[in-house]
């Protein structure tokens, strides 16, 4: 009887990715809720205070109308590194789940701590990347130690949800069992972005002219965080070389971060209008 009851009980899964719910991942969770087995339950970690005072992700989302269940967890952030050290208040509650799925961001201390519940039967799964591919060989010793720890940490997971088939191949190369890998193909919802792109595509030349570009200008667009991991120094050096070889090149940057000064220096060294910095746009 006990065995039958165990088989028939509801399976509970907890998911946390990037310590919040990003707008481009909402559709994935909606589809997951629609297609989940009825004897399975999914909760997604989200700090509802982030809706009023966003620190983890600035793009607004309407969490009160999510069709899936959330686990509200208060977030504490200690500044350090590129993203800070994070603790969220779901460690103790995580013990009640059959499986906990998170990314492998090692500075999220709650992710590390919930690994302890494997001792009581909770399965742990990683979702995302096997490693940081942007880490240079001459990275600071702390970053190198972090990546070594991440590789060792990765091998302790019970399952791996890979962003891409390439990540799955890397995992298999690290001797992670292939039958414990599933490829989710990044799970980013780009429907709205694709519709917006297609809507303005016929106006491309007019938009270029409105932005001040000549017909013969070649425009390099960078959209993203301005942090050391993104090799902003390499971007600046490469663009300077391209412009010296062909002065019709223009650089447009959308984003903000501690490496902004690198691009500001580049802008100030080149003629007016060659480099345009828009900062963060939401």
Q: Are residues 72 and 138 in the same domain?
A: yes
- Domain region containing 272: 203-279
Give the residue-averaged pLDDT of 1-5.
Answer: 51
Q: Are residues 44 and 114 in the same domain?
A: yes
Boundary residue ending a domain (183, 218, 246):
183
Q: Are residues 179 and 217 in the same domain?
A: no
Which pLDDT score is estimated for 241? 98
Q: Are residues 151 and 260 in the same domain?
A: no
d(CA 178, CA 169): 9
d(CA 172, CA 108): 25
Q: Are residues 153 and 47 in the same domain?
A: yes
Which pLDDT score is estimated for 135? 56
Q: Are residues 153 and 262 in the same domain?
A: no
Boundary residue ending a domain (149, 183, 217):
183
Percent of the chain with pLDDT over 70: 91
pLDDT tens, 241-268?
999 999 999 999 999 888 999 999 999 9
Residue 10 DSSP class? P
Q: Are residues 179 and 270 in the same domain?
A: no
Q: Are residues 23 and 150 in the same domain?
A: yes
Distances (CA, A) of 201 to 94, 122, 129, 180, 195: 47, 49, 33, 42, 10
Establish if 123 belongs to a structural domain: yes
Residue-averaged pLDDT of the chain: 89
Encoded tokens for 181: 């890998």
Which pLDDT score is estimated for 1? 44
Structural domains in the chain (count): 2
pLDDT at 88 over 90: yes
Which pLDDT score is estimated for 57? 77
Which among 23, 70, 74, 80 is positioned nearest to 53, based on CA atoms?
A: 74
Which pLDDT score is estimated for 97? 98
Which pLDDT score is estimated for 177? 95
Q: Are residues 142 and 212 in the same domain?
A: no
Q: Are residues 171 and 209 in the same domain?
A: no
pTM, entire model: 0.74
Give the residue-averaged pLDDT of 167-193.
Answer: 88
Which pLDDT score is estimated for 51? 80
Q: Are residues 173 and 208 in the same domain?
A: no
d(CA 120, CA 110): 17
Encoded tokens for 271: 């003629």
Q: Please, which pLDDT band fits residue 6 given cuts at 50, 70 and 90? A: low
pLDDT tens, 96-134?
999 999 998 888 999 999 999 999 999 999 998 887 665
Q: Which of 80-89, 96-105, 142-151 has the highest mean pLDDT?
A: 96-105
d(CA 5, CA 183): 32
Q: Please, which pLDDT band fits residue 24 given cuts at 50, 70 and 90? A: confident
């Amino acid at each position: 009887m006990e065995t039958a009851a165990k088989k028939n009980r509801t399976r509970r899964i907890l998911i946390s990715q990037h310590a919040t719910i990003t707008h481009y991942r909402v559709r994935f969770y909606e589809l997951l809720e629609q297609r989940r087995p009825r004897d399975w339950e999914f909760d997604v970690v989200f700090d509802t205070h982030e809706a009023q005072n966003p620190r983890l992700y600035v793009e607004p989302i309407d969490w009160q109308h999510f069709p899936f269940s959330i686990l509200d967890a208060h977030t504490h952030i200690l500044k350090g590194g590129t993203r800070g050290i994070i603790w969220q208040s779901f460690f103790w509650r995580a013990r009640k789940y059959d499986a906990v799925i998170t990314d492998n961001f090692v500075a999220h201390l709650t992710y590390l701590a919930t690994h302890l519940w494997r001792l009581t039967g909770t399965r742990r799964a990683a979702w995302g990347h096997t490693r940081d591919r942007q880490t240079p060989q001459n990275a600071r010793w702390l970053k190198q130690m972090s990546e070594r720890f991440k590789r060792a940490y990765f091998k302790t997971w019970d399952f791996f949800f890979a962003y891409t088939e390439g990540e799955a191949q890397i995992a298999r190369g690290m001797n992670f069992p292939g039958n414990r890998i599933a490829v989710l193909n990044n799970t980013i919802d780009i429907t709205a972005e694709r519709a917006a792109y297609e809507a303005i595509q016929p106006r491309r030349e007019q938009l270029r002219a409105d932005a001040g570009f000549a017909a013969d200008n070649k425009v390099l667009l960078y959209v993203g965080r301005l942090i050391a991991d993104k090799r902003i120094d390499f971007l600046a050096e490469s663009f300077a070389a391209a412009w010296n070889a062909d002065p019709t090149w223009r650089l447009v940057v959308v984003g903000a971060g501690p490496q902004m000064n690198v691009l500001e220096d580049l802008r100030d060294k080149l003629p007016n209008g060659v480099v345009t910095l828009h900062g963060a746009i939401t």
